[in-house]
């Protein structure tokens, strides 16, 4: 029995000495006592490979590479002590979650946190920490009682200790006679080592540790007593071991480890041999024999005063990159250069990071593009694996009673027997109709149809029937899979075992194992060894998780919601431990976790401020102050934040001394959003030590002299070349380097065709050529059949018209009662109201308040079946919507009744169709290329007669405030009302038996306006204000007879019914929105002329992306097709600026109609 230390700074050959000692022992005595190489868990694979590759060894069964945990498995398997099954991390978290739920009401500080996602993991880590530091529940309780006796019972620390003592004790009690906690393995190992043949007389080599936990020291003490010799390699300057070091010293942690191990040996009467000193004063460490710069760096980085390096610096490169992507790309180019020009192998290089997460996705993308084989050394989360999502969403379907979001998460896992197309069509249907709850389980087919809900005689086409049949077929597959599962779990209380069994049966019914096997074989076929391991480990991990839940909590009664909470705790901790799939690859890892043996080149990325050294936060449930307080009273736990900050300098030392020939250190100047980032203090320190070291800049794109450095890989070079060609289009010359690259792609047989397509795409502009005439006729018909609102769409932007009515693109409809739905409802409701008056031979003006309200109620009730067909009923929210609609309809009817009482216009038609199968013929307009037929539906046509004169006015219902702006009419953006008036006047004899004059065109807004007042107002005043807000807007005939027929009679007042003011002399005021008969006729000619020109452009196939712009107003703001047209003014796309009409509008229109001037349409 003896202890020997192997001491030396980084690169002095400590690991090499351990391996050489093992090799010599095996060569001398192949079948002797055990040789154990004890290393950190994450280093076992590399060291096993190093052991296998020792020269002169064909193989061995005597030497083994073990971690502390692996050693525990081996010894307990051999010597006993593991009679109970062990509970894995997943089972531990789930059991703790269950204990938390039970204990919640007794907790003082964690009662709220108990249900917070992630808290159970924090609790598990805290219990593991306590066990690592050999603290029992009794120790925690004793400290709590001491605090209580000294008056500190009300402190936050006392409350935490109380809760932790309870939960820790609950955990230990729960484990009794059930399981072994893996955190207890090292204590059991220390007890069983004296009985182990594996350890007795063994030679133990310990390497790769800077320090140990109390549990590990306990094991090392047992090893010292049982083994023949224990050799411990420590990274420390051998001259420091006999000095008293401060906490701020670089090697303080290993110095402390050295003295703790010596004391354990001395306390046990075990001799400590003379240490093997590997430092060679005056000579470069073994690792840095070929690089004087790196040897100087290792020696001087933490030494003050600084001794600068005199001479040219070749083995170190310092790089400032434009951003993280530019940083990773520059490192990738350098790696390829080292392989190509200096014969490096991929395995001889590594990427070392202090914080892996900001770089992980970038490295995966960039290294993939450059063809660099790599392995990212991390425990991979599986929270988004389809199998994990399947379990999570299946339980959520039960707890949310078929909410659509978990249903479609479940269906999109690709583990359900539905094709993606079936899932998409089903999702569209469900979202459009707001389907939730047990509607999914109905045996009868779904027949909701939003499109036909408002059609009184609507029938489904063959296509719609087939589409609905497909939706029902897909729904039936879902029901077949999920209904048995849902029925089994849709109960108040179940046991954990019952829920686990239901999940097992669901996985079996879906044949998930077979599907994952298909994915595994596909990964194997494609050479994706990581993907291959992933499918196996996830399946085994999930099965183990369910097994442990069933075994650990089997007969516990629980709700599905509580089960899901416990399961989530297990899924969150499920990690994949992937083995590097290839030998020759770049290892990417965190300096704190990864081990990088035999490196020639190290790429240290992300050397930014706050990253290297890392900013430290408080970890676990205790603050630094609380940890310090407990330590003073004998409760030692993990290091405080201050102590961890001091340990950062050791990690920096490790990162900078990993390679033997070349060190790359880089940092980004900006983050992904362009925010400036500062370099790490490490950068300034390097420049102090190496005054001749220049900072190279890594740009995002090639820039002049560095062009050739970017030509290292065909894929990435092509990307850079395209960017160079884009700049050529803007007038920048193409450099000679990129001209040669261009020629190479042109001549390369494999790539020239794809290159040609890319160059063609580069010359793309957002100018769309007109459609061929034949295609126009197929899309829009011959003659052109359209509507006025469609022409207005074309006037706003031709491409929008093409996308909507040519391509018939539609947004995915999401269930809800939006503004268009309100508009349809009010149109139908007002039509029904008028029909009821006609059926009862009643007039608007004769209705009293009660009769109006009763009629409105009848109308709303009659429209309920249509609401039902659209699935807009059935919830409290939608009942409220119906009530609100009824009140708004009552207000609208009240205003229209006022119009009828004060005026003489009466409705002669409501919802009147023209064109198609309507009661009136279409509005036909000649075009140079044929004819255009306009069809539409007029909300309401009113008629009045006075002294032999007949007047028509057209009213259009709107669900929000609207007005007629003459400038919009001029530019073709507002043609509808006037076109409708033209149709009515052309058919006046059919409607009223004689020709008629235009009475007006008006918008009537149906909504509940908000009345803002600074204080209380009388009800009558409020009603008058509402009436003013609901005044009809538009344009009326400037004729006092017509105005009086519309109810405006009071002289010297502004009408609250129509947009006019009557002067005291009985004439119309200037503020009136009125036009003479001649002006109306001009407008009617103008709108027809505008419609003809728009129709002619449609027939010519115009589909250009040309939205109008008037001030800040543009149709792009609310356009559904912007993602399709890609309109971007910054990329050169142009708005079509509308002319602001100066001077008198009517003179401008008259001049244009007489002279036929172009108007920009």
Distance CA 785, CA 781 (A): 6
Query: 924 and 931 in contact (C-beta within 8 Å)?
Result: yes
Residues of the chain by 3-state class (helix, strand, coil), percent to 5: 50, 15, 35
Sequence-ordered list of residues with C-beta below 8 angstroms from that of 737, at least 6 positions apart, any chain:
702, 707, 708, 711
Distance CA 383, CA 918 (A): 59
Three-class SS state of 772 = coil
Three-class SS state of 840 = coil
With CA atoms as reference, report the closest residue to 781 among 582, 934, 886: 934
Distance CA 909, CA 666 (A): 78
Query: 979 and 789 in contact (C-beta within 8 Å)?
Result: no
Instruction: State the burial class of residue 457 (Cβ atoms within 10 Å of its Cβ: 0-12, 13-18, 19+).
Output: exposed
Distance CA 21, CA 36 (A): 12
Instruction: State the burial class of residue 919 (Cβ atoms within 10 Å of its Cβ: 0-12, 13-18, 19+).
Output: exposed
Instruction: State the burial class of residue 442 (Cβ atoms within 10 Å of its Cβ: 0-12, 13-18, 19+).
Output: exposed
Sequence-ordered list of residues with C-beta below 8 angstroms from that of 534, at least 6 positions apart, any chain:
380, 382, 385, 523, 576, 578
Ordered alpha helix ranges (H), 662-772: 681-689, 714-729, 736-747, 752-762
Long-range Cβ contact pairs of 627-632 (< 8 A, separation 24 or more): 629/157, 630/143, 630/157
With CA atoms as reference, report the closest residue to 506 among 398, 402, 381, 403: 398
Identify the bridge partners of residue 64 per DSSP, sorted by sequence position: 36
Q: Is 797 annotated as a binding residue?
A: yes
- Give how far Cα 798 sits from Cα of 933, 1088, 1104, Å: 19, 19, 6
Instruction: State the burial class of residue 182 (Cβ atoms within 10 Å of its Cβ: 0-12, 13-18, 19+).
Output: middle
Three-class SS state of 436 = coil
Query: Which residue, chain included where needed, has tokens 């003459």?
Result: 966
Three-class SS state of 1056 = coil
Distance CA 429, CA 408 (A): 12
Query: 1066 and 1040 in contact (C-beta within 8 Å)?
Result: yes
Identify the bridge partners of residue 997 per DSSP, sorted by sequence position: 951
Torsion (CA) 735, 741, 745, 750 in degrees, nearest 10: -160
Q: Is 1116 annotated as a binding residue?
A: yes
Distance CA 1064, CA 1045 (A): 18
Query: 38 and 66 in contact (C-beta within 8 Å)?
Result: yes
Distance CA 17, CA 190 (A): 27
Distance CA 144, CA 165 (A): 8
CB atoms < 10 A from the CB of 665, how many? 24
Query: 278 and 681 in contact (C-beta within 8 Å)?
Result: no
Residue 528 DSSP class = -
DSSP 886-934: HHHHHHHHHHHHHHHHH---EEEEEEEEESTTSSB--EEEEETTEEEEE
With CA atoms as reference, report the closest residue to 695 among 181, 133, 316, 144: 316
Q: Is 1125 annotated as a binding residue?
A: yes
Query: 1102 and 769 in contact (C-beta within 8 Å)?
Result: no
Which residue ranges are tagged as binding site for [4Fe-4S] cluster?
A: 797, 1116, 1119, 1125
Which residue ranges are tagged as binding site?
A: 797, 1116, 1119, 1125
């Amino acid at each position: 029995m003896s202890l020997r230390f192997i001491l030396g700074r980084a690169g002095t050959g400590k690991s090499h000495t351990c391996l050489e000692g093992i090799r010599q022992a095996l060569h001398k005595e192949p079948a002797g006592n055990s040789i154990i190489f004890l290393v950190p868990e994450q280093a076992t694979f590399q060291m096993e490979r190093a052991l296998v590759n020792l020269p002169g060894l064909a193989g061995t069964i005597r030497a083994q590479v073990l971690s502390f945990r692996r050693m525990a498995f081996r010894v307990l398997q051999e010597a006993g002590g593991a009679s109970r099954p062990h509970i894995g991390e997943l089972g531990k978290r789930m059991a703790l979650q269950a204990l938390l739920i039970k204990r919640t009401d007794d907790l003082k500080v964690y009662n709220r946190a108990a249900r917070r996602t992630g808290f159970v993991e924090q609790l598990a880590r805290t219990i593991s920490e306590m066990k690592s530091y050999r603290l029992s529940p009794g120790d925690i309780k004793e400290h709590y009682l001491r605090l209580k006796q000294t008056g500190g019972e009300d402190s936050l620390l006392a409350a935490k200790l109380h809760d932790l003592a309870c939960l820790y004790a609950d955990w230990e009690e729960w484990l009794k006679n059930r399981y072994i906690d893996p955190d207890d393995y090292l204590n059991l190992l220390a007890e069983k080592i004296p009985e182990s043949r594996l350890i007795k007389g063994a030679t133990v080599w310990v390497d790769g540790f800077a320090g140990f936990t109390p549990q590990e020291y306990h094991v090392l003490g047992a090893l010292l007593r049982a083994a023949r010799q224990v050799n411990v390699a420590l990274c420390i300057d051998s001259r420091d071991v006999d000095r008293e070091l401060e906490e701020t010293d670089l090697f303080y942690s290993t110095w402390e480890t050295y003295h703790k191990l010596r004391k354990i040996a001395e306390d046990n009467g075990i001799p400590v041999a003379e240490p093997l000193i590997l430092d060679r004063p005056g000579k470069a460490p073994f690792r840095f024999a070929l690089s004087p710069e790196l040897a100087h760096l290792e020696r001087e980085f933490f030494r003050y005063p600084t001794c600068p390096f005199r001479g040219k610096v070749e083995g170190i490169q310092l790089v400032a990159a434009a951003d993280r992507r530019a940083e990773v790309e520059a490192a990738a180019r350098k790696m390829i250069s080292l392989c190509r020009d200096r014969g490096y192998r991929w395995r001889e290089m590594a990427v070392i990071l202090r914080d892996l997460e900001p770089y992980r996705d970038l490295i995966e993308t960039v290294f993939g593009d450059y063809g660099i084989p790599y392995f990212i050394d991390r425990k991979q989360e599986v929270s988004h694996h389809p199998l994990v999502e399947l379990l999570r969403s299946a339980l959520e379907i039960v707890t949310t009673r078929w909410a659509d979001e978990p249903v479609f998460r479940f269906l999109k896992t690709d583990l359900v027997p539905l094709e993606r197309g079936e899932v998409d069509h089903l999702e569209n249907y469900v979202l459009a109709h707001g389907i939730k709850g047990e509607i999914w389980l109905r045996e009868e087919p779904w027949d909701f149809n939003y499109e036909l809900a408002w059609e009184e005689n609507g029938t489904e086409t063959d296509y719609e029937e087939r589409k609905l049949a497909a939706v029902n077929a897909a729904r039936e597959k879902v029901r077949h899979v999920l209904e048995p599962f849902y029925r089994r779990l849709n109960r108040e209380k179940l046991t954990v075992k019952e829920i686990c069994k239901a999940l097992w049966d669901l996985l079996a019914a879906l044949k998930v194992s077979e599907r994952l096997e298909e994915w595994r074989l596909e990964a194997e076929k494609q050479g994706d060894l990581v993907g291959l391991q992933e499918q196996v480990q996830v399946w085994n991990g999930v099965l183990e998780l369910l097994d442990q839940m069933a075994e650990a909590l089997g007969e516990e009664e629980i709700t599905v919601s509580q089960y899901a909470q416990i399961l989530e705790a297990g899924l969150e901790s499920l990690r994949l431990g992937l083995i590097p799939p290839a030998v020759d690859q770049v290892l990417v890892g965190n300096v704190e976790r990864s081990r990088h043996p035999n490196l020639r080149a190290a790429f240290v990325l992300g050397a930014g401020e706050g990253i290297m050294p890392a900013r430290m936060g408080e970890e676990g449930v205790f603050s630094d102050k609380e940890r310090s307080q407990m330590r003073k009273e004998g409760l030692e736990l993990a290091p405080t934040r201050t102590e961890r900050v001091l340990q950062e300098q050791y990690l920096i030392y490790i990162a900078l001394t990993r390679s033997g020939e070349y060190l790359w250190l880089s940092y980004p100047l900006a983050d992904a959003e362009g925010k400036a980032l500062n370099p790490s203090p490490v950068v300034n320190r390097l420049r102090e030590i190496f005054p001749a070291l220049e900072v190279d800049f890594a740009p995002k794109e090639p820039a002049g002299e560095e062009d050739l450095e970017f030509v290292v890989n065909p894929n990435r070079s092509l990307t850079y070349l395209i960017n160079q060609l884009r700049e050529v289009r803007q007038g920048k010359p193409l450099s000679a380097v990129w001209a040669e690259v261009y020629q190479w792609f042109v001549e390369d047989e494999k790539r020239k065709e794809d290159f040609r397509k890319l160059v063609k795409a580069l010359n793309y502009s957002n100018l769309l050529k007109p459609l061929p005439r034949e295609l126009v006729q197929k899309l829009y018909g011959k003659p052109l059949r359209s509507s006025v609102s469609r022409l207005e769409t074309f006037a706003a932007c031709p491409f929008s018209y093409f996308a909507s009515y040519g391509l018939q693109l539609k947004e995915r409809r999401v269930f809800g009662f939006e503004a268009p739905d309100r508009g349809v409802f009010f149109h139908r409701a007002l039509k029904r109201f008028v029909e009821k008056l006609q059926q009862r031979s009643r007039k608007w003006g004769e209705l009293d308040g009660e009769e109006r309200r009763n009629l409105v109620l009848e109308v709303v009730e009659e429209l309920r079946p249509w609401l039902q067909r659209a699935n807009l009923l059935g919830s409290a929210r939608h009942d409220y919507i119906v009530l609100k609609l009824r009140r708004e309809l009552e207000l609208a009817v009240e205003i229209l009744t006022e119009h009828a009482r004060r005026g003489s216009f009466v409705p002669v038609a409501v919802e009147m169709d023209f064109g198609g199968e309507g009661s009136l013929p279409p509005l036909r307009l000649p075009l140079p290329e044929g004819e255009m037929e306009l069809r539409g539906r007029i909300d309401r046509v009113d008629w009045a007669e006075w002294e032999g004169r007949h007047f028509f006015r057209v009213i259009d219902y709107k669900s929000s405030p609207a007005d007629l702006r003459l400038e919009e009419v001029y530019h073709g953006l507002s043609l509808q009302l006037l076109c409708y008036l033209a149709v009515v006047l052309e058919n006046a004899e059919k409607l009223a038996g004689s020709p008629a004059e235009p009475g007006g065109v008006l918008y009537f807004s149906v909504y509940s306006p908000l009345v803002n007042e600074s204080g209380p107002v009388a009800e009558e005043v409020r009603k008058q204000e509402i009436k003013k807000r609901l005044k009809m807007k538009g344009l009326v005939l400037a004729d006092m007879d017509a105005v009086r027929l519309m109810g405006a009679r009071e002289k010297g007042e502004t009408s609250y019914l129509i947009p006019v003011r009557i002067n005291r002399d009985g004439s119309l005021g200037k503020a009136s929105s009125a036009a003479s008969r001649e002006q109306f006729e001009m407008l009617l000619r103008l709108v027809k002329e505008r419609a003809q020109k728009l129709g002619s452009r449609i027939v010519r196939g115009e589909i250009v992306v040309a939205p109008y712009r008037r001030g800040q107003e543009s149709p792009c703001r609310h356009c559904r097709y912007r993602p399709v047209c890609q309109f971007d003014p910054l990329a050169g796309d142009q708005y079509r600026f509308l002319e602001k009409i100066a001077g008198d509008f009517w003179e401008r229109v008259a001049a244009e109609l007489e002279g036929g001037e172009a108007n920009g349409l």
